[in-house]
Structures are given as structure tokens and as C-alpha cells.
Amino acid sequence: MTEPVRVGVVGMGTVGSGVVRLLVESADHIERHAGRRIVVERAVVKDVAKARSVPVPGGKISSDIRDISRDPSISVAALLVGGLEPARSMMIELLENGKDVVTANKALLAEHGPELFELARKHGRSIAFEAAVAGGIPIVAAIGECLAANRIESIRGILNGTSNFILTRMEEDGANYADVLKLAQQKGFAEADPSMDVDGTDATQKLAILAHLAFGVWVPWAEIPRTGIEGLDLDLLNYAGELGYRIRLVAVASRSDGKLAMRVAPALVKIGTPLAETRGAYNAVSIVGDAVGRMFFHGLGAGQMPTASAVVADIIDTVVGRAAITFRTTGLLAADSPAAKLADVDSHERHFLRINVSDRPGVLAKITGLLGDHGISIASVIQHAETASADAGVPLVIMTHACASSAVQKAVAAIDKSDVIRGKSVCLGVLDE
Ligand code: NDP
Ligand code: HSE
């Protein structure tokens, strides 16, 4: 009889517990796909005294990574610890001791991917990372393997489940931002440091990884312009709804003239379109390939079992040998990947503005005049008289016709300096296509 494959699980939080549960509860099914029994040999955690909702088979749980890295019976390690350190040192320890690694840690890959992949190659090991982007959606395999015949022209997606959960709970239930963020943390969607979810960092790191797979270039994630959802409030979501839109945190990468235009920012998406209908912790990715055309992927992008689904699929791929072949034969995250040439982000699209103005004669003329001075034409305006207050002024919501984002930003800067303004204006792009 073929010996079982023994797996070490590093980190038994939201994702690690889901992985152990799936490997134990679906062992027979998984064996059929892997061709061999896969067993959890041991887990390594930070605090061994912590109560675990999922027991480790045989009770083998400890806090020293060497209990996995130096155990010759273990061939595959699932590294499910977040952040950069000690995750990076753990990955190095595992690779140097001959373990193939599966991980969901996108921050680690976006920051140290080429260095770690180089090390894996040096030691003849593989790193698989399907769960690092878009949770349960098999987007890494889709771009890296299934769409390999295509020149990818663009990627557009919702890549952070926590932000999407917050935005949809606010728009659907009128929930308070801080309360929903807490709920996202309780549900296990958020990062240990949730500011990475809401400030756009997590989505940007995922976009950098997808851009590498799709365009073959390495993009330092911190160079990608990003804005999070922290500046949004319920009124903004309601005004967008009045105009027939939802607000989503959208990651975009598109190729044109040998350069990549990339950004992560909240944007208006038309109600009824797939991105607008992506709700809760769901993620969505729309890809345009030159042969296949537009494809759309949708599924849970965060949470225990959807993420465990992707991790366990990678463990199976590793056991079967597919991960090693992909790793050996493609230049995945190679240290000498060409650097991306990023285009200046000056999109030509409609813009949604909310400007708080004092409620007095001539104000509208002044604002439209300033927009006109910058060549910006107005498509529609909303002003609800009942929202006026002596201190905060009255919100004026403007939808522009398509114009350069650089022009609209200059106009908003001029508006914000004028004497009719009560508070900082908000300007969001509108993704009409
Ligand atoms: P959690 O915070 O829930 O779990 C982290 C685990 O790492 C805990 O079990 C913790 O141990 C362990 N750990 C932390 N430091 C150490 C250490 N020094 N030594 C040993 N173990 C340590 O995180 P998640 O499960 O949510 O996330 C894990 C990874 O998966 C992250 O990279 C995240 O970005 C990624 N991811 C998460 C998703 C999600 O929906 N949650 C979805 C997709 C990816 P202890 O339990 O003792 O504290
Ligand atoms: N914190 C991440 C999110 C987990 O909310 O999308 C999945 O990567």
C-alpha cells in the first residue's frame, strides 16, 4: 500500500483550522483526487494553550516551526500565518529543510515573493499560493494555466472580502461602518491588522500578484496607486444608489502601449452589472484575454472554508506533482522577472463628486464655474434641501461627463480652497463599461 503523505500545518487560525477540518472530514474524497492518503501530522501555532475549535489528529500541536521543518516524515507544509515576520523566516526554514510549501499569505508573496521563489528553486521545492488571491476562486490557476494561451489585456476585480462586506452591509442595512468592520473580524474575513483591508493594501498586494501572473512583470505593490474605503460614508452610498450605482473597492490593471495602468480605489459601478451585484465577502474578477474574450469569476473571497478549499487544492496539486511541474517549467515569481512600466493614472471616465457647500445664493454657479474652468462638463446634479445644516452646509452631488481624472482632481482642489466649502470633497471614478 502507498504510504500516506504527511502534512504539517503552520497556523491554526481561521484558515489553518479550516484546512485541518477539510483534510480530516473529506479524507476519502481527497485521497481519490490525490491518489494517496493525505494526513495532518502536526500543527504549529503561537499559543499551544489556546482552545481550538478543530482538534489536530493525534493532538500533535506545538509552537516550534522545527517540529515540522525537521520532521523527515512531513513532505508538505501549509504556511497559514499572516504578515511578514515570522512568516518569512518560517517559509525559509521550511524550504531549506526540503518541504514543499502551500500558503495563503499574499502580503508575504507581494513583499518577498521573488526572493522566496528563488530559494524554493534552489532547493528543488515548490510554493503554491492559490488561496492568496480571491480566497476560494481559482484565479491563480485560471490565469497561470487555463488562460495561458492568451495575452491578457485587462483585469478588473473586487479582491478584498472585508471591504466588500462592509460596503454591502452599509448600503443594504444602513449599518454603521465600525460595527460591520467588527463583524467582519468576528467572521474571520479581516486581516490580523484590519487597516490592511480597509486602506486598500490587501487588494493592492493581490492585484500585484495577479498582474505578475497575467502580464509576466513584477510590480512592487507599494507603487500601485491605492485608496481604501475609510473615507466613505452611508450618505455617499445612498447618493450613488440614487444615481443607479453601487460603490465598490475595485482593483484595475490594464495594458496599453507597453505600459500597465493599475490602481485600487473605490468606484461607482452600475447596478445590475456583475461587480455591483458582488455582495458580502464575495470577490469577483473580470479578465479580458485576446483569444478568450471577457471572462468573469465570482465566489467567496474570504472566510474559513472557501479559503481552505483553495489551500487543500494546492496541497493535492503538490502531492500529485503538478505544483512542482508548474514551478519548474514557468518563471513564476522569478527574481529576474522584468519590472513593470506603470502608466500615469489619468483615466478618462465620468466622475462622481460630493461637495459640501454653504447654503446661500450663487454657490452652485461658483462650483459649476470652477468645474467649467477645468473643462469639466456636468451630467447631473442632486441637492436635497432638507439635508442642509448651518454647520456642515449642504451636500451637492455632481455626476460629470467623461473627463480626465487629472482635470477633475485639479478642479476639486480649487473647489476645496474656495470660501463656499464646508468640509473636504469626495471624488470617485465611474466604471461604466
Ligand atoms: P489568523 O490570525 O486567524 O491565524 C493565524 C495563525 O497563525 C494562528 O493560529 C496563530 O497562532 C498562528 N501564528 C501567529 N504567529 C505565530 C508564530 N510566531 N508561530 C506559530 N504560529 C503563529 O489568520 P487567518 O487564518 O485569517 O490568515 C492566515 C493567512 O491566510 C494570512 O496570511 C491571511 O492573509 C491569509 N488569508 C486569510 C483569509 C481569511 O479569510 N481569513 C482568506 C485568504 C487568505 P495562535 O492560534 O496560537 O494565535
Ligand atoms: N482579509 C482578506 C479579505 C482575506 O478580506 O479579503 C482574504 O484574502
Evaluate whether 295 touches 214 at the Cβ level (below 8 Å): no
Ligand 2 site, residue 214, Cβ cutoff 6 A: no
* Residues 316 and 370 sit within 8 Å (Cβ to Cβ): no
pLDDT, position 257: 87
In the chain, the percentage of residues whose pLDDT exceeds 90 is: 90
Could you say which ligand is closest to the alpha carbon of residue 85? Answer: 1
Nearest CA to ligand 1 atom 18: 46
Q: How far apart are the first and last CA of the chain?
A: 56
Distance CA 353, CA 228 (A): 17
Protein residue with least CA distance to atom 4, ligand 2: 302
Tell whether the model's pLDDT for residue 391 goes beyond 80. Answer: no
Q: Of the residues 106, 122, 182, 206, which is catalytic?
A: 206
Residue 205's pLDDT is 98
Radius of gyration (Cα) for the chain, nearest Å? 24
387 pLDDT higher than 80: no
Determine the pLDDT at residue 360.
86
Distance 398 CA to ligand 2 centre (A): 32
Which has the closest alpha carbon to 243: 352, 378, 356, 377?
A: 352
CATH numeric code, 348-431: 3.30.70.260
Closest ligand, as measured to the CA of 104: 1
CA of 383 to the centre of ligand 1 (A): 46
Q: How confident is the model at residue 69 (pLDDT cuts 50, 70, 90)?
A: very high
- The model's pLDDT over 124-152, given as tens digits with 9 standing for 90+, comes to 999 999 999 999 999 999 999 999 999 99
Closest approach atom of ligand 2 to CA 106: 8
CA of 146 to the centre of ligand 1 (A): 29
Please tell me the distance between residue 80's alpha carbon and the centre of ligand 1 in angstroms. 5
pLDDT band at 393; cut points 50, 70, 90: confident
Overall average pLDDT of the 31-54 stretch: 97
Q: Ligand 2: which of 14, 158, 165, 189 to mutate, most ligand atoms within 8 Å of CB?
A: 189
Q: Tell me how far the alpha carbon of residue 16 lies from the centroid of ligand 1, in angstroms.
A: 7
114 C-beta closer than 6 A to ligand 1: no
- Give me the mean pLDDT over the 340-351 stretch: 88
Residue bearing cell 463599461: 433
Q: Which atom of ligand 2 lies at the shortest distance from residue 131's CA?
A: 8
Give all strands (DSSP E) within 183-338, no chain letters. Answer: 245-256, 259-270, 282-289, 293-300
State whether CATH 3.50.50.60 applies to domain 5-135.
no
Q: Is 227 exposed, middle or buried (0-12, 13-18, 19+ CB in 10 A)?
A: middle
What's the rounded mean pLDDT across residues 402-422?
A: 95
83-117 as b/e: b if 16+ CB within 10 A: eeeebbebbbbbbebebbbbbbbbbbbbbbbbebb
Which ligand is located closest to the Cα atom of residue 206? 2
Using 50, 70 and 90 to split pLDDT, how confident is the model at 373? very high
Q: Whose Cα sits closest to atom 36 in ligand 1?
A: 104
Per-residue exposure over 167-203, b if at least 16 CB sit within 10 Å of its own CB, e if not: bbbbbeeebebeebbebbeebbbbbeebebbbbbbbb
How confident is the model at residue 390, as a pLDDT? 60
- Look at residue 170 and tell me whether its pLDDT is greater than 90: yes
Asked if residue 338 has its Cβ within 6 Å of ligand 1, the reply is no
Identify the pLDDT of residue 389.
67
Residue type, 402: A
- Is the pLDDT at 432 greater than 90, yes or no? no
Q: Is 206 a catalytic residue?
A: yes
Nearest CA to ligand 2 atom 1: 190
Candidate from 140, 159, 181, 202 with most ligand 2 atoms within 8 A of CB, to mutate: 202
CATH number belonging to domain 151-300: 3.30.360.10
Q: How far is the CA of 55 from the centre of ligand 1 (A)?
A: 16
- Residues 270-304 have pLDDT tens digits of 999 999 999 999 999 999 999 999 999 999 999 99
Q: Convert the pLDDT of each residue in 220-252 to its tens digit.
A: 999 999 999 999 999 999 999 999 999 999 999
- Whole-prediction pTM value? 0.97
Q: What is the pLDDT of residue 366?
A: 95
Name the pLDDT band for 164 (thresholds 50, 70, 90): very high
Percentage of the chain surpassing pLDDT 70?
A: 98
**C-alpha 234 chain-centroid distance:** 22
Q: Which atom of ligand 1 is nearest to the CA of 86?
A: 18
Residue 200 beta carbon below 6 angstroms from any ligand 2 atom? no
Q: How sure is the predictor about 334, in pLDDT bands with cuts at 50, 70 and 90?
A: confident
The pLDDT value recorded for residue 428 is: 98
- What is the per-residue pLDDT for 346? 78
> Across all residues in the chain, what is the average pLDDT?
96
Identify the CA nearest to 121 among candidates 317, 339, 326. Answer: 326
Segments making up each domain of the chain, as ranges: 5-135, 151-300, 348-431
